[in-house]
Homo-oligomer: A and B are copies of this chain.
């Protein structure tokens, strides 16, 4: 990897952790131990399960319990049984707890504001834009792609998101019965592959490759969660699916798309796909593309 890029990243890490870290110290815990403050903040106005808190903050169960007792003693939270599962416990902020939360929220705003405070409006806008970019791309870098059965829980979840987005965006609506062909129920090597993209373990995108003739593959069900758009995930999914197709020994991949999905078309073209004639009877397809591998 490029020496200069590495150096820039290291300088970035240094400056950012220094500047943000310095502000957070003794500022974001209001006289409370940092662990407690983070715990309280993580509970949030809507409450949370102890379990959620434990794995969001990566805490030992004993430690979490102790923090909870401490907050309870301070009158900041109440702990009750979960209605559905009596073992599980639900934490809610009390009146006072909510006030504390609001105070932390305000401090976070202040902290963020203080990073911008002494800049001119133009530079401030530039900083915020750069931060948004860094955030988006850093997130993107943490996304991992995995092949898995197309009927796994996460795969199903992604498909649900995908279909409901199609229903919202297609002028003609979307009916799963017409658009989702039955033979795709389970896609697996060597006749295809279903790819799930995950960020910190949570699915944020998917894509599917399926055999369509001896040496041709069809790409379908490409979906990227709105929370990570604009960071090239679609391109990565596409590239990975093509790679898989190549490994299967296929020579071409093709796909169809609807006129409502303009950004998808643009991406396919940029990735080297060329328009071809209709090759299927998908009622929702308006354009057909192909690429030689």
Please, which residues of chain B bring their CB within 8 A of the CB of A6? 109, 112-113
Of B16, B115, B141, the residue contacting A135 (CB under 8 A) is B16
Contact present for B131 and A134 (CB under 8 Å): yes
Please, which residues of chain B bring their CB within 8 A of the CB of A125? 5
The stretch of A181-189, A217-225, A229-237 that contacts the partner chain = A229-237
> CB-nearest residue of chain B relative to A10?
B112
CB contacts under 8 Å to B, within A125-158, are 125-128, 130-135, 137-144
Q: Is A74 an interface residue (CB 8 A)?
A: no
Contact present for B140 and A232 (CB under 8 Å): no
Question: Smallest distance from the beta carbon of A124 to chain B beta carbons, Å?
Answer: 7
* Also in contact, A140 and B128, with CB within 8 A (given A109-B10, A112-B10, A134-B16): no
What's the dominant secondary structure at chain A's contact region?
A: helix
Q: Is A202 an interface residue (CB 8 A)?
A: no
Question: Smallest distance from the beta carbon of A203 to chain B beta carbons, Å?
Answer: 17
Contact present for A115 and B127 (CB under 8 Å): no
> CB-nearest residue of chain B relative to A114?
B141
Q: Is A280 an interface residue (CB 8 A)?
A: no
Q: Mark A10-48, 1 if CB is under 8 A from B, else 0.
A: 111101110110000000000000000000000000000
Contact present for A8 and B123 (CB under 8 Å): no
Interface residues in chain A, defined as those with a beta carbon under 8 Å from any beta carbon in chain B: 1, 5-6, 8-13, 15-17, 19-20, 108-109, 111-113, 115-120, 122-128, 130-135, 137-144, 231-232, 235-236, 239
